[in-house]
Structure 1
Amino acid sequence: MTTPANSPPPTGFHVDRGTCFVLFAYDIARSVDLNRAERRITAITERSRLKHKRRAPAYFDYTPAPLRITADIEPVAIGQHRTGPVVDMLLYDFGAVCVSYSLPLQGPFSSLGTLSQDLYENEALLSDSRRRIEELLTGLGDAAERPHIADFVEDYVIVHIEQATPSLAPDTLLTGFAQPLAQLLRSETLELAEQEVHDSVSQRISFGSDDVAIIDWNATLIYGRNMEDVVAVIEFANVELLEMRFLDQQLDLALDQAYHASSKRRWDLPWFPGTARTDVRRIAQLQVDSAILFEQVTNTLKLFGDQYLARVHRLISQRFHLESWDASISRKLHTLDSIYGKMTESAASWRMELLEWIIIVLIAISIAVSFLPGLTGH
């Protein structure tokens, strides 16, 4: 199906009911004990699971289920819109949190473009989300292992139109609103070129004849009812992207440290046992931490039994280039493992050589002692 960039859009398209979700993903700890966290937090909490309104095996779900924390907030004004009275924070056992604000939508479709621009790198929501993350981390206490707040955040916008007048078919929406859809997804005010419009709406998926999800790197537009499971999958993919970026940063740091440790000159090493072992132990710890986080993130959400949601995840993964991040992280883990192996071998070789020199020195001393008067029994 073609999506002409400059076709005149139909007039009078009105959003009767919808929600805009604004997501901020943070990394706050090495890991979180969710059961202990649930006991410590006084806000409304529940374990989040995919609802699977479509036919799917019940065992395809989060492993383990993240902890959803709901808190009352003072609504934040975003242009002509205001956030709802609550904020959701979804806490994962691998130390990530997704803060989710919801904005009720009602009005002309054209107003969504302005909202998208207002939400782009919105400082008010960013500051509010970080403050809530700091409060959450304080409340978690010892439930969070090695607490910290990463110096970067992944934000994303999901516009969900549940009901509109007139009720357009997805094909009509795509052909008649290609240009404003692209501007909405890219948060752009300028009229976009046909190639840019085509690229922005090219990743889309439908389950029924009356719904569609148009997925882009900055935002997703969902048109249809009962799409909460799609929102949940996209929300998790944004957390995946955050953790991939964080893990890639940590591996870069580990590789720098490994290179520095492995490139030390031999005479820089202090003359006592355990020096090389300290460097090797530090590199090994970084390697293990990275590998565990990688496995936790990639194995948290199981979607293989729900083909539709698996396709949704595949599309958002393509937009986020998660496969490239995955390959880069795997390659760095392999490199770190290789450096660790070489450092271990080098440390063992250094110990053996040191022992050989000790034996040589002891033999030389014993020979010298035999020729020194007064030090022998003869």
Structure 2
Amino acid sequence: MREMRGSLWFYRLYDVAQDIDLAAAEKILALYKPVSRMRLSKVRPRALEIKNPPLTVELEGTEVALNGKTYRVAASARLYDFGVLSILFKLELPPDMSYEELRSLAVAAGEASSLSPWFAACRDELIRQLKPALTGDGFTGFVEDFLIFFFQDWPCDWDPVPLLLGEEEPISQAMRQEVLRNLFSYSDDQIIITWDAAFIYDPSGSTDVADLLEFANAQLLELRYYDSVLDRELAAMYDALEEAGRGGYRRLRQYRNIMRRLMELMVEITEVTGRIENALKVTQDIFYVRIYTAALKIFRVEEWLESIDRKMQVVERNYSLLSDELITHRFMMIDIAIVVLIAFEIILWLFTLK
């Protein structure tokens, strides 16, 4: 029987800051661990543009129990300048593992809660070490999980679809076709992408596709986070408007404060979403363009961008309404002042007649 060479890659991505100074983080981490910047090995330099390549750091490995067996796990982390920390555990598979064992392990991998304490420990230690390089607070409640089945040797009679679905039961033809809609191949490579997992067969061992999928997940996480920020800010805005409406003569001052916060919010969200969208551009490599574009679509990144855009329009409309209210009040005060001045002049004129 032909042996296979493969591993399971467990990703967990966290929002840990508003910004990460990667140059500062690199100096800090290089004192303790090997560090490097993300670089795709198969891509020509001009075919891909990464504004600020993420920083990768090697972590200490560990042993984890999964599906009744103990496996050695290699660990690493990657930092993105827009505030994301991605932690990766690579579980090496025994070359003599049978397909039935692999399928059973795939089911267990989808429910691998035993890894959570290790992920949390790595996250907390890195946040502690990197505090000088972090700007603003993160929100650990926002997490993305992703699983990659990565193989350099893959027996041709093995079926990857049940692995991606985490199912030991028979797979319907309709479900199989749905999964295989997102199958990509180039030369000997084969990639299948789903919402929370991917299958990568690359005899060369290149991690390029895995890196692109991780990047797309990092973008997704931050867009989800800022969509939530807008939800909270809109709720706070409506509460503030209601409070201002009961404020009597203080109402206009409160309106100005609300407008100031709305302007700050619009600038912040516009700047951040622009950075996230433009963080990576694949221009000349058609195969990677297809994979990256498909990943963004599968992860529904465009839907999150549209949701943010809709909420930004609500913010802008409320800003305009408040601005109109203040302008109307200003003109009204000018009109009152003019009337008062005219009345004063008339009174003075009447006094001069006496």
Query: What residue number does 2:190 align with?
Result: 212
Query: What residue number does 2:15 align with?
Result: 27
Match 1:146 to one of 128, 132, 136: 136
CA drift at 1:225: 1.7
Query: Which ranges in structure 2 are unaligned for 5 or more consecutive residues?
Result: 348-353
**2:324 corresponds to which letter in structure 1?**
E
1:50 is aligned to 2:39: yes
**1:82 corresponds to which letter in structure 2?**
Y
Match 2:71 to one of 72, 82, 93: 82
**1:163 corresponds to which letter in structure 2?**
D
Query: What residue number does 2:293 align with?
Result: 314
Q: 1:348 and 1:32, CA in 2 relative to 1: closer, same or farther beyond 3 A?
A: farther
Deviates more, 1:269-278 or 1:149-158: 269-278
**2:23 corresponds to which letter in structure 1?**
N
CA drift at 1:356: 5.5
Check whether the contact 2:146–2:196 (CA below 8 A) recurs between aligned residues: yes
Query: What residue number does 1:335 align with?
Result: 314
Report SS of the residue matched to 1:284.
helix
Query: What residue number does 2:268 align with?
Result: 289
RMSD of equivalent CA atoms:
2.9
* Structure 2 Cα separation of the partners of residues 126 and 270 of structure 1: 54
* Structure 1 Cα separation of the partners of residues 270 and 228 of structure 2: 13
1:288-344 alpha-carbon deviations (Å, 9 max, x no partner): 222222111111112112111111112212221222222222222233222222223
Report SS of the residue matched to 1:50.
coil
Check whether the contact 1:21–1:157 (CA below 8 A) recurs between aligned residues: yes
Count of equivalent residues:
346
CA drift at 1:47: 3.6
Q: 1:52 and 1:69, CA in 2 relative to 1: closer, same or farther beyond 3 A?
A: closer
TM-score, normalised with respect to structure 1: 0.81
TM-score, normalised with respect to structure 2: 0.86
Q: 1:83 and 1:237, CA in 2 relative to 1: closer, same or farther beyond 3 A?
A: farther
Identity %: 26
1:249-303 alpha-carbon deviations (Å, 9 max, x no partner): 1122222233334455644255387422211111222222222221111111121
Query: What residue number does 2:161 align with?
Result: 182
Match 2:123 to one of 130, 133, 153: 133
Query: What residue number does 1:99 align with?
Result: 87
Check whether the contact 2:190–2:201 (CA below 8 A) recurs between aligned residues: yes
* Structure 2 Cα separation of the partners of residues 367 and 348 of structure 1: 29
Check whether the contact 1:61–1:301 (CA below 8 A) recurs between aligned residues: yes
Match 1:223 to one of 191, 194, 201: 201
* Structure 1 Cα separation of the partners of residues 132 and 341 of structure 2: 53
Q: 1:197 and 1:213, CA in 2 relative to 1: closer, same or farther beyond 3 A?
A: same
**2:8 corresponds to which letter in structure 1?**
C
CA drift at 1:215: 1.0
**2:75 corresponds to which letter in structure 1?**
V
Query: Which ranges in structure 1 are unaligned for 5 or more consecutive residues?
Result: 1-11, 369-377
**1:158 corresponds to which letter in structure 2?**
I
Q: Give the 4+ runs in structure 1 shifted more than 6 A.
A: 358-368
Deviates more, 1:64-73 or 1:252-261: 252-261
Query: What residue number does 2:149 align with?
Result: 159
* Structure 1 Cα separation of the partners of residues 341 and 16 of structure 2: 55
**1:212 corresponds to which letter in structure 2?**
Q
